[in-house]
Amino acid sequence: MTWVRRAAVLFFLLAPLQGWAVQPDEILPDTAMEERARALSRQLRCMVCQNQSIDDSDAPLARDLRILVRERIKAGDSNAQVLDFLTSRYGEFVLLKPSFSWQNALLWTAPLIVLLIGAGGFALSFRRRRVSASETAPLSADEERRLQDVINR
């Protein structure tokens, strides 16, 4: 019987906590509208938590945004209109996956630029090392004698 208890405890500890942030009073009676609201909420960033969607966040601002999304849906806005409204109000930062535009092009291309600079630096370093190794001058007679003295000790 103890293994059943352990399994139950493990289940509840590992159970996902997503969706528990949405309060019962926020849920729309129409299931289709609620599904739209949840889908949109998963695309929007909580301004307090910043790496969490408003669907997962317990912050008061996230609750306000969830309610705002539901109000816009009840008013008849499409998903694109809701996202456009929130983007115009809070900026593109509110989107968890911002679009590619000239305003944020550096953010999207920065990893590639850093990778190319690193690869170029590595190639240049490797090339210089190879060139300098092939251009080493032979040891003079005095250097050869001192090397033999060090080896023979």
Q: Where are the domains of the chain?
A: 2-94, 105-152
Residue with more model confidence, 116 or 34: 116
Residue with more model confidence, 38 or 128: 38
The pTM (predicted TM-score) of the whole model is 0.57
Confidence of residue 30 (pLDDT cuts 50, 70, 90): confident
Least confident interval from 53-62, 75-84, 93-102? 93-102
pLDDT value at residue 96: 85
Torsion of CA 133, 139, 145, 150, to 10 degrees: -20
CATH H superfamily, domain 2-94: Cytochrome C biogenesis protein (1.10.8.640)
Sequence-distant (≥ 6) Cβ neighbours of residue 62 within 8 angstroms: 21, 46, 47, 48, 49, 52, 54
Q: What is the pLDDT of residues 140-152, one digit of tens each?
A: 889 889 989 999 9
Measured CA to CA in angstroms, residue 61 lies from 77, 132, 133 at distances of 21, 61, 62
Q: What is the pLDDT of residues 101-127, one digit of tens each?
A: 777 788 778 899 999 999 999 998 888
